[in-house]
Amino acid sequence: MPLIEKSTYKPPFLFGNGHVQSIVPTLFRKVRGVAYTRERINTPDNDFIDLDCSGLNADRAVIIIHGLEGNASRAYMLGMARAFNRRGWDSVSINLRGCSGEPNRLIRSYHSGISDDLDTVVCHLVEKDKYASLALVGFSIGGNIILKYLGEKGPEGSPLIKAAAAVSVPCDLASSARKLADLSNMIYMKRFLKLFHEKIKAKMALMPEKINDRNFKSIRTFQQFDDRYTAPIHGFADADDYWSACSSKQFLSAISIPTLMISAWNDPFLPEECYPREEAGRSDVLYLEIPDSGGHVGFIHFNSRGEYWHETRITSFVCEHSGVSRKRGQVCS
């Protein structure tokens, strides 16, 4: 019963509030020491995915996926890549379609359940025949994608994938969408809609006959946005159909490798439905850790290494469950 309710995380003084934990790293955290090399791979539907890789010529790699309207250059992505690099892992950070600084070729983009693109990246790394071990780490909807993918694959997934971790995951998409529509989350909702609008306008410049932004300013919620754009573009009947099909919570029981979920109780994005305690309690491999504080992809920690708590926690978990020891001077803690 891998349910970890008593977490080791303690927020710094004056940083216990969930909104503070969520906003401060986004605005002020700087992560240095990660040198990316970009690699573009083609997808089966004739689109592309841009990967930002930080390589040490290691025999193991972590695949990292960002959250909604993020990219590989966000501080939380760089921090995670650096933490794995320090422990002797290559990192491969996925920029989901349309998030690498260039619009993708097709009308379809990314969404919270786009596990086929993750499979494309996994297969690409497997075919390189370079790595003996792979791990997966995702943030927010990136975590939802990873959990959905692992559940879909079950024991039939690549044997190279040894462990995974997912941070601040809206594993029940419908309830999380309703939570973000609350007045208390207006600042986040406005920001997301602004970024969505920029993406829509970029697509309009490429394919004006397929997409438009008429009356976009009337959109106030994810329900309205997903009904108009996400669902019809990606083959769902409406927002509810999309959320139902893509929520990772229904796939958790089928996960077959050690997987750590970290979600703070004071995450402003997550309602009760997004803390799958029953599913973790029934699983032998799904570890759910629920710190009292941490916000959404926060978990601020001040130390000389500049490493946040979740980065140390995840690398330790992945090293332990991937059979990586402390040999050759590696620090797996």
Q: Which residue reads 């309009």 in tokens? A: 204
Task: Please name which of 263, 188, 222 lies closest in space to residue 26, comparing C-alpha atoms.
Answer: 188
The 10s digit of each residue's pLDDT in 100-155 is: 999 999 999 999 999 999 999 999 999 999 999 999 999 999 999 999 999 999 99
pLDDT at 97 over 60: yes
The boundaries of every CATH 3.40.50.1820 domain in the chain are: 3-172+250-326
Average pLDDT, the chain: 95
Q: How far is CA 294 from CA 7, 18, 125, 175, in A?
A: 11, 6, 32, 20
124 in catalytic set: no
pLDDT at 326 over 90: no
Using a 10 angstrom Cβ sphere, with 0-12 exposed, 13-18 middle and 19 or more buried, the burial of residue 12 is exposed
Model pTM score: 0.95
The answer to whether the Cα torsion of 135, 157, 139, 34 is positive or negative is positive
Greatest Cα-to-Cα distance within the chain, rounded to the nearest angstrom? 59
Catalytic residue of the set 66, 111, 296, 321: 296
Looking at residues 76-81, what average pLDDT do you find?
A: 98
Least confident segment among 67-76, 228-237, 319-328: 319-328
pLDDT at 332 over 80: no
Catalytic residue of the set 140, 176, 248, 322: 140
Catalytic residue of the set 267, 293, 301, 321: 267
- The dihedrals phi and psi of 175, each to the nearest 5 degrees, come to -70, -35
244 in catalytic set: no
Between CA 7 and CA 314 the distance in angstroms is 13
116 in catalytic set: no
pLDDT at 161 over 50: yes
pLDDT at 322 over 80: yes
Residue 133 DSSP SS3:
strand
CATH superfamily of 3-172+250-326: Alpha/Beta hydrolase fold, catalytic domain (3.40.50.1820)
Give the model's confidence band at 327: pLDDT under 50 very low, under 70 low, under 90 confident, else very high: very low
CB of 285 closer than 8 Å to CB of 278: no
